[in-house]
Amino acid sequence: MHGLATCFLALTCLTFYADAASLDPVVTKELEEQIKSEELLISLQHIKPRRRASRETLFVVDFPNSLHKFILMLDRLSKKVVVETVEDGRTRTQYFTVDSLDEFGAIGSIILVINQTQPGAYVNLYVDCKSQGRIATPKSMRDMFSKMKNPLLQVFRERKYDMEVDSEENFRKVIQRNNCPASSFPSEASITKNFVDFIDTSKSLDHDPNVQAMQSSYYPNRGDIPSATELSESAILEALNALIKAVNTLTVDVRNQHQVIDRLRVLLENCNICNSASITTQPTCGTHPPQCFARVQCQDTPNGPRCGPCPYGFVGNGYECTAVRTCRDYPCFHDVQCRDTDHGYECGPCPAGYEGDGEHCAKRSGCEYSPCHPGVQCIPINAHPFYRCEGCPPGFTGNGTACRDIDECDLEEPCHPDVECTNLNPGYRCGPCPPGYTGSSGFSGIGLEEARFRRQDCHDIDECAEGIANCVPHSYCRNLEGSYRCEGCDPGYMGNQSMGCHTELGLCPDGSRCHQHAECYQIMYGRYGCKCKIGFAGDGVVCGPDQDLDGWPDFTLNCRDPRCKKVNTRVYSKQANVKIEERQWRSKRAHARHSMLRNKGGTFDSNLKKLS
């Protein structure tokens, strides 16, 4: 039975929250500040009818982890404002009959005047500034809050209307805020004393499942029948008829409730979850529907009800959605692909030949970003890549987009062979002609064609002819390419570039001295020897008479060479004549060769052999 009662309580709680909304932290804080007051006011404004006529929950005051609740609901079909309280797990249902309610009319204001003084706590209801009576609350919200181990409350409501909590000091401000005349709210002294006395004398009121509303001064034909000192017969009959009508109505209601209870009993008997000792109610879209944007579906998640995605054409979190353009509005440029995303439409890249963000594309000029090499003319065209570069400038090679420098020095060698050629970017530069040359003082050019036809001309300076050669007098000067060379002495002179050229007899070009009766002859390049003339004999440095012309002196000379000694030999006149002729021929030949060598500057021909 305990499990059955717990399950029934859970289903009842689900019924309470059927039209509930999300948690309102602002109103929760306001109520927590005023919950311990003797009297407080809860006001709701601008309550519009729903499209679907049903009982709607205006607000729920929940005391978590306890068996207490305070719920205010609106039933337009039966013209009732229902107050349901859960007190220690037991549900108490009371209602106000409001004749002005209908399915399609808006309610300007609903004001609850809640008195929490015990005994005798009660709630007064005002709809559109008109009193609708009073109900007793044996357990006020202050009692529910104070008895909690850790006092805590939460207010759930729909956000379609305004809700405020005020203290009794702001009673007049609430009246003015809701545009109500002051006469609509009676003073505390005018409260029906019969009702107060009834509260005081009803000891079993805490266990009464339903305390009906008191008589209203504006609507005398509903609620409890007031006591009167004098009642006429017609008045008593009228009251009895009203009572019979009310009993008949209650009979029908009780019959309907019995049917509902029977159906609930069947459901509970077949419910597996009811076998558990306790039931934890998980908020769902049915019990705690969030305030979603229009046409947004609520979705049950492990973390509770959540609003689904915004409808097509809107972006947001489901609670708040903002209208945006979509691909159906054709926002992208012609032939650009469009894709709908969670944040709206997204355009692809612009087509070839255009640039932009996909939504706005402009025809691109291929030359706009200077794709050609500096100095190369760019010509826009209609085909990809939408530009054409003219040829590379002089001094460069390439396709016009990428140009690299030409090394004219390496390819054409425009400078003189002895002049350094420096490659430039672009072009080249030749230095001045080297020493020993006359001509260009240096120049620069660009490109192979100029390097090919503009050559550097450097002409050799003939230092010998110009008389600027630094050779010793009476010596031979030989002009060279870019220079000159000083060679041997002139004919008739003897010496070299170090000691000079002189006419002194017996002096050889290498500086060695011969006998006055000897002559010089070249042994090898730069080296000379001495040889006695015909009629004399010796080593050439020392010569003595040789009358018989046999190559030996007539007397021994003061030198070490074997030819310096006198030799006594018998010489036939025939042999002597042959030797004389031979020596004369050789002497003439040596003299001729010596003259030739001196005319050539003293160079030595390795093919010539020394004369003996």
Which residues, other chains included, contact 221 with Cβ-Cβ below 8 Å and sequence gap of 6+?
Answer: 242
pLDDT at 546 over 70: yes
Class of domain 504-569: mainly beta
Quote the pLDDT of residue 577: 54
Single-letter residue type at 196: V
Query: What mean pLDDT comes out for the span 177-191?
Result: 61
Single-letter residue type at 580: I
Residue 84: which of 107, 55, 113 has the closest Cα? 55
Q: How confident is the model at residue 542 (pLDDT cuts 50, 70, 90)?
A: very high
Quote the pLDDT of residue 185: 59
Least confident of 379-383, 393-397, 453-457: 379-383
User: How far is residue 306's CA from residue 293's CA, in Å, rounded to a whole number?
Assistant: 11
The per-residue pLDDT of the chain, averaged, comes to 79
Q: Please check whether the two domains, 406-460 and 461-503, share a CATH topology.
A: yes
Query: What mean pLDDT comes out for the span 408-427?
Result: 90
Check if CATH label 2.10.25.10 holds for domain 406-460.
yes
287 vs 231, more confident: 287
Check if CATH label 2.30.40.10 holds for domain 21-178.
no
Which residues, other chains included, contact 436 with Cβ-Cβ below 8 Å and sequence gap of 6+?
Answer: 460, 461, 463, 481, 482, 483
pLDDT at 7 over 80: no
CATH number of 461-503: 2.10.25
Query: 8-26 as b/e, with b when 16 or more CB fall inside 10 Å?
Result: bbbbebebbbebbbbbbee
pLDDT at 470 over 50: yes
Quote the pLDDT of residue 219: 42
The domains of the chain are located at: 21-178, 327-363, 406-460, 461-503, 504-569
Q: What is the pTM assigned to this prediction?
A: 0.34
Strands 107-115 and 387-389: unpaired
209 vs 558, more confident: 558
Least confident of 34-48, 239-253, 257-271, 530-544: 257-271
Q: How confident is the model at residue 223 (pLDDT cuts 50, 70, 90)?
A: very low
Q: How confident is the model at residue 184 (pLDDT cuts 50, 70, 90)?
A: low
Query: What mean pLDDT comes out for the span 90-98?
Result: 91
**Token pair 């003061």 in the structure block, residue:** 558
pLDDT at 186 over 60: no
580 vs 130, more confident: 130
Please report, in angstroms and rounded to a whole number, the separation of the first and last CA atoms in the chain: 160
User: How far is residue 595's CA from residue 491's CA, in Å, rounded to a whole number?
Assistant: 7
High-pLDDT (> 90) share of the chain, %: 23
132 vs 20, more confident: 132
Quote the pLDDT of residue 567: 77
pLDDT at 511 over 80: no
User: How far is residue 389's CA from residue 226's CA, in Å, rounded to a whole number?
Assistant: 107
**Token pair 């006001």 in the structure block, residue:** 43
Check if CATH label 2.10.25.10 holds for domain 327-363.
yes
Least confident of 7-21, 26-40, 347-361: 7-21
pLDDT tens per residue across span 553-577? 999 999 988 889 887 655 434 445 5
Quote the pLDDT of residue 450: 87
What are the start-end ranges of the E strands in 7-100? 22-23, 39-47, 56-62, 69-75, 80-87, 90-97
